[in-house]
Structure 1
Amino acid sequence: MKKLLLIPLILILTSCAAPTRTDHDEFFVVDSGTIHAEKVPYFVDCLNDGFNKAHWGLTSFEVRQSTRAAGYRVETYTGSLNYLIVSADIFNDGKVVLNESSAASLINTKGEKEAFEVCLLEINKELI
């Protein structure tokens, strides 16, 4: 019985050790770009939609959006352990950056990366 309780306890303790965006050494830039400043809200909407479509099936993921002093942040967390795996910063001046967490090493983040690229292309295509 003790062994059965040990596994959930370890999972709970390791989830507390998941990196946050204040742990700068735990995140690396996987993509970046620039959009026109007036398109920032549309890019945020596009990322929210794309990140929400990135995972399907029995897996539990949560997309969160927050307003920051210099813009917005859109992030994907694992639903069960609450690990931050992907974080996108969208700045009011039009700079956009996609960061991946070291905690995402065993999680497929291809959907978020594709969503970021598609949104960047779509928003910039509208300006041509």
Structure 2
Amino acid sequence: MAKMQVIMPVTLDGFLPDKDEELMEWLRTDRNGFPYWEERAIFNMYPHYGMLDLMDAKERHKNNCTFFMKVEDGKSAEYAGGIFLYRLVDELVIYLLPISYKSGKNITGRIQLGQWSLRDAKTFRNDICRLVYHLKI
């Protein structure tokens, strides 16, 4: 079965950062941000991809196949919420940004239930922390 991976930036208070946020530009362009995962994935998931099709594709592909979904706006956050709802995510990568908004689109409340295991953590010079979690089965 293929691996489903969701990559999401989160502010310290659990919100989706604004797309114009300076640190989001780093995530979109730096080799340690989204490009790091895009290079390793076999398929990129986009919000128009149907859930039933996604479930079927996950079953049909082998373990070495990775489906990658980056959350960077409200539409992709809604879609990721559906992927979590259907319990399709195997790996969650959180880029914790050293900012707080106190309002906005809360995305941490959508993460699927289950026990997550921290597999990797890295802090970058701009104080962004990358946390990689795997769902325990």
Q: TM-score, normalised by structure 2?
A: 0.28
Q: Which has the higher contact order (CA 8 A, sep 6+)?
A: 2
Greater Rg by CA:
1
Report which of the two has the higher share of helix.
1
